[in-house]
A and B are shown apart, each in its own frame.
Chain A
């Protein structure tokens, strides 16, 4: 298979999960494991252009596939707009769900470049974040969507916040 633009070949036990292959054999530990049962989305990667939960795929099923993981997202040292959005809009806290969440958002935006808030919320429904309450993840994806469309992202909320002293 081809991972992040590099060809890889390996012999693996037939039962090896793709996520374990990525993490243990290739050392790509940015893809995380939160449940191993397809509920949390922490292990989301892009396989042949579509998002997939790498804990529900066997490594052998990905034979010959084109895979992108979080490590392969930034190009030439430039953050992907979704990565940038997560940083700019505080879309992460502990960071454990983040790689999977970012990959899901990349998948969502490739299908729908101008999603509504509701479409974003449903688009990332398969990814659980326990830290952020999703609020800033939505803002991060809105930021990225605007950037990718060549528009100016809306200002951050904290730039407009009112405080009663």
Chain B
């Protein structure tokens, strides 16, 4: 693919001039006249009964406007969740608190310092109750998290394939038979896929302004889903969608954390209505880990059975997934995304069973990858262990068991899902045949010869993203709980203005993905109008057509396709006008260089300025053509998309300290067609840093009482520039066949492909010592311990 054409070429980001000069507008930058500040009183206990709340001292402070508790807001109902299975979150703690950091009361004051002081002055008495924190213990139901729920197990997802009990029984029989054969080997790994705190560098912030004259809320929120938030506020307050205007201005990182309706978003709207002032809440970093959703938190066992020559006969993934105390947006549905890809890019019979378990900890929900990194982690770890056991090259084992390229179109995964396009061996071969991979292996051997512990790790992956299809609504994935029955379609509106500039309005909610740039490219390519004359607007519930927001690597595939189709409609209408003006036939009209011309006679041209002028002078239009020059399209894909790829890492482990150094990292990713290679690379880089961060550094740790021990950035270790190498990126291109752009999505691929790549490399490095498994994160102490244990066992 060329890197010079508008579509598929590198275009510097249109977003950047504001962001590099400090003029980008984030929620906390917005100040409205008379604005008040909110702060929260939060629980120090993981589980306790609230015996009293005394706000008198706080209310006596000058400048404190109000202190609200559940009694003030109970009538509004709980925080709306799209998948309300389990216990949904009350707006403020209702009688009991169920995790440390749960909001108990909200204080509103004239100044942000004062609001925090006043929150400290609210006295809450608690009667501590035993907390259920350990995931395995919670799953036994010996002690209940919520008295009024039947079980701590909120949901069990099972597939093999999904939704077909008879076929699943057959799958299980096949796997058991294979295990019983004496010519097969069985490999099993129990591993923790630890809890993570997503840590967008911009903490969440929300500002609500109720205007009684207009009868309308204006809400600025750092959210990925402005339209859903508008719907949720409307539903909560019993007003219409029309009465709520949500703006997501610049959003400082999302990663799924801002893909939720939060209690504070509802509560500031409530306070604004009550007090007649705009109210802003900005989460502090200290609060954030227990007020914004966390991610992952699985303990699972991956078991694989295969022959000694590398034919895999069956695979099981059985595990527990920590949901935390309350179900928010998608909470119990996240493991289902793991079910989707449980069999990866492979063809062997697969049985997956995941229990979603409540604990007295912060809610988990979608964090970059959401279910998919977990599933791929287990699969690609155990395949490596199997390859080691039978003494086969890890690439060869994988290649041998792939769904073959000729199974597409029409491939159905062993867990029962239709996949769009795939050529898995192509990506794997591109990786293992690259100079970089060969150099990695040579470097490893050289280091080993010097007595060092060095390892190369490999992982391939497939993911599912680009949600759609619309039919997901039947599985509960819609916004209907928010009073907005969208069904995972995408939207785009393209308008040629009278001066022939173009305004594009889309239903996405990006947080750094460069939509203004990418969408300009899509439209410029269709209309032949220069990028500089196109402005893209997003993140606004009122201006844009209804949209589902930005998550699950879906925006380009779904909203991008909608915009492409809208641009085609505008182009078709413009062609009619041009044909009229040029007295030519519509079919002969082509667009380039800022205007239209007649094919074969390039000097017969009419500029976009002229076309736009005529479009807004209806009397000059041909018969039957309406005035104006704009179009809207909704794109509803027939399926999700399935990107894939292959990653490799070279690591060195210090045998004395357990310190792991990541020396090289190579990827081959296939996300279908690429609109802007620079932006795609950037998405991969960021995804890698988060996957590698999980492998090496990050872990949310709770003690037995449910206290979060890693609540600050000192204790929750994020990768810094000094921890990471430069990444070496390659790609293959297998276009999707379910959207007109042939794109798949790249927001999460880097994360999904990387954690196990690094762990596989470390296990490879420690293999000479007999280490077969180390859990993430690979902190020096843990790695050192694994080395000691292996030595002790020898």
A-side residues, CB < 8 A to B, are: 13, 15-16, 20, 23-24, 28-37, 39-40, 42, 69-71, 73-74, 79, 83, 86-88, 90, 92-99, 102, 117, 120-122, 124-138, 156-159, 161-165
Contacts and interface: CB of A to CB of B under 8 A. Distances in A.
Interface string B491-516: 00000000000000000000111100
Contacts of A95: 15-16, 18-20, 24, 250, 252, 512
A57 to B, nearest CB: 16
B688 A133 contact: yes
A138 B726 contact: yes
Given A32-B26, A128-B720, A135-B726, A164 B430 contact: yes
A37 B713 contact: yes
A128 B718 contact: yes
A87 B19 CA distance: 9
Interface of A is mostly: loop
Given A29-B29, A121-B722, A133-B688, A93 B514 contact: yes
A162 to B, nearest CB: 7
A87 B201 contact: no
A161 B512 CA distance: 23
A98 B19 CA distance: 7
B718 A92 contact: no
B20 A92 contact: yes
B223 to A, nearest CB: 13
A134 B724 contact: yes
Interface centre among B10, B13, B20, by most chain A C-beta atoms within 10 angstroms, is: B20
Nearest to B670: A164
Nearest to B685: A133
Contacts of A135: 685, 724, 726-727
A121 B714 contact: no
Nearest to A124: B721
B681 A32 contact: no
Contacts of A23: 28-29
B732 to A, nearest CB: 5
Contacts of B18: 95
A16 B112 CA distance: 11
B334 to A, nearest CB: 20
B604 interface: no
Given A37-B712, A93-B513, A94-B252, A164 B733 contact: yes
Contacts of A164: 426, 430, 668, 730-733
Contact of A28 (B22, B251, B678, B731): B22
Contact of B201 (A34, A122, A124): A34
A30 B22 contact: yes
A30 B730 CA distance: 35
Contacts of A28: 22
B20 A132 contact: no
Contact of A165 (B15, B17, B679, B733): B733
Given A83-B21, A86-B20, A128-B713, A97 B201 contact: yes
B731 A32 contact: no
A74 B1 CA distance: 36
A136 B682 contact: yes
Nearest to B1: A163
A87 B686 contact: no
Interface of B: 1, 3, 10, 12-13, 15-26, 28-29, 31, 112-113, 199-203, 250-255, 282, 284-286, 426, 430, 511-514, 668, 677-679, 681-682, 685-690, 712-714, 718, 720-722, 724, 726-727, 729-733, 750
A160 to B, nearest CB: 10
B726 A40 contact: no
Interface centre among B21, B26, B688, by most chain A C-beta atoms within 10 angstroms, is: B21
Contacts of B727: 133, 135
Contacts of A97: 201, 252
A134 B25 CA distance: 23
Contacts of A96: 26, 200-202, 250, 252-253
Nearest to A161: B677
A87 B253 contact: no
A90 B517 CA distance: 12
B293 to A, nearest CB: 15
Given A87-B12, A131-B253, A133-B686, A163 B733 contact: yes
Given A83-B20, A158-B681, A161-B3, A39 B712 contact: yes
9 contacts: A29-B22, A71-B23, A90-B679, A97-B201, A128-B718, A130-B199, A133-B689, A163-B733, A165-B733
A126 B718 CA distance: 11
Given A93-B513, A121-B722, 8 more contacts: A29-B28, A42-B201, A94-B511, A96-B26, A130-B718, A133-B727, A135-B727, A161-B3
A78 B22 CA distance: 14
A94 B250 contact: yes
B721 A138 contact: yes
A79 B19 CA distance: 12
B253 A130 contact: yes
B20 A87 contact: yes
Interface centre among A30, A120, A127, by most chain B C-beta atoms within 10 angstroms, is: A30
A52 B200 CA distance: 22
Contacts of B512: 92-95, 131
B20 A93 contact: no
B21 A71 contact: yes
B253 A86 contact: no
A96 B175 CA distance: 50
A117 B721 CA distance: 10
Nearest to A29: B29
